Amino acid sequence: MSPPQRARTNLLSVRDLAVEFPTAKGTIRAVDGLSFTLEAGRTLGIVGESGSGKSVTSLAVMGLLDGARVTGSIRLAGTEVVGAGRERVRALRGRRVAMIFQDPLSSLHPQYRVGEQIAEARRLHFGASRRAAREDAVRLLADVGIPDPRERAGDHPHRFSGGMRQRVMIAMALACEPDLLIADEPTTALDVTVQAQILELIARIQRERGLAVLMITHDLGVVARVADDVLVMYAGRAVERASADALFAVPRHPYTRGLIGSLPRLTGPPGELAPIPGTPPSPLSPPAGCPFHPRCAERLAVCETTRPEFLGTPHPVACHLFTTEKRTTG
């Protein structure tokens, strides 16, 4: 059966998303006023250091943030996720949106065979019989490149290598034929050769099925390889968004330039890497003004007191260095 044709519309629309976690020491605002859209068939890479809020954003889209206060709007294929009841969110999860988690070993149940775990999703969401669901599981394992899929469907997760387990996770994510695939650091624990294979697999599946992909990563190399557009996050906020080509050609925000400058290069004269000084701010006590200013070598006096707006078209940036330009173009 040929993959369904999906119109190029905003499959995912996030507006003014805020996520807060109450703790004994105070409230952690992990995501702070985030907005973005993602069209069907395209890949958006969300990149930033640990603690930037990118994984929390993906969990909010999945409706997996019990105990957090989530405000704003997340519309998935026209359905509002924020404030929706458990049953509605559960119906969306799998059928509309699915997720590839960072650690497949902890995400797969160790006591159940991988074929059973994939088949369960087909039975729950499509009402497939046990035999039909098992055949679907074998087909999905073959689709993601598992050798001898019928035999391997009867194996437990510990019998697979890390790369093979990640392929099983992808098969499970595809079991309910979602429109949106969220990949949260899907290659972090893999060596570079297997990483390239997994990224190519995700790209092939996207082409064949017309999926939208939300790629969550700290690795700009991954972003450069797979993303159509890039959203850079820092301290829970968007600081820059552009097409991948534009962002790598002309990075605007000092944080983005720092991330790119810290990457090793295979061409040009040898030299030391340029790490970003300092550490991300504590979400319990963020600095006044621009949250990046304590680490920024280009900061202005206004950066220490006033939070910059996220402005500019078609390459928005939240930085006082571009205030005049942004107000002109925005």
pLDDT digits (tens, 9 = 90+) for 79-130: 999 999 888 898 888 789 999 988 888 889 999 999 999 999 999 888 999 9
Distance CA 131, CA 238 (A): 47
Residue 53 in this model has a pLDDT that exceeds 50 = yes
Residue 326 in this model has a pLDDT that exceeds 50 = no
- pLDDT bin (cut points 50, 70, 90) of residue 10 is confident
Which is it for strands 26-39 and 229-234: parallel, antiparallel or unpaired?
Answer: unpaired
Half-sphere exposure of 98 (CA within 13 A, CB side): 20
Query: What average pLDDT does the segment 60-82 reach?
Result: 94
Angle between helices 114-126 and 130-143 (to 10 degrees): 120
- pLDDT bin (cut points 50, 70, 90) of residue 187 is confident
Residue 327 in this model has a pLDDT that exceeds 60 = no
CA angle 319, 283, 231 (to 5 degrees): 45
Structure tokens at 92: 């969306």
> Measuring CA to CA, which residue among 172, 179, 137 is closest to residue 154?
137
- pLDDT bin (cut points 50, 70, 90) of residue 266 is low
Residue 328 in this model has a pLDDT that exceeds 60 = no
| CA Rg value for the chain | 21
Residue 7 in this model has a pLDDT that exceeds 70 = no
Distance CA 297, CA 275 (A): 12
266 within 8 A of 280, measured Cβ to Cβ? no
Give the count of beta carbons closer than 10 Å to the beta carbon of residue 85.
Answer: 9
Which pLDDT score is estimated for 243? 97
Query: What average pLDDT does the segment 181-199 reach?
Result: 88
Which pLDDT score is estimated for 263? 75
Residue 148 in this model has a pLDDT that exceeds 50 = yes
Name the 3-class secondary structure at 237: strand
pTM over 0.75: yes
Distance CA 242, CA 230 (A): 6
180 within 8 A of 96, measured Cβ to Cβ? yes
Residue 290 in this model has a pLDDT that exceeds 70 = yes
Which pLDDT score is estimated for 49? 93
Give the count of beta carbons closer than 10 Å to the beta carbon of residue 103.
Answer: 16
Residue 269 in this model has a pLDDT that exceeds 70 = no
Structure tokens at 276: 């970003």
235 within 8 A of 18, measured Cβ to Cβ? no
What is the percent of the chain where pLDDT is above 70? Answer: 93
Distance CA 320, CA 313 (A): 16
- pLDDT bin (cut points 50, 70, 90) of residue 1 is very low
Q: Where are the alpha helices (DSSP H) in the chain?
A: 54-62, 86-95, 104-107, 114-126, 130-143, 149-152, 162-174, 192-209, 220-226, 244-249, 254-261, 323-329
Which residue matches tokens 């990118």?
54
pLDDT digits (tens, 9 = 90+) for 162-171: 899 999 999 9
Distance CA 105, CA 96 (A): 24
Give the count of beta carbons closer than 10 Å to the beta carbon of residue 48.
Answer: 26
**Residue 330 vs residues 29, 194, 254: alpha-carbon distances, Å:** 28, 42, 20
What is the percent of the chain where pLDDT is above 90? Answer: 72
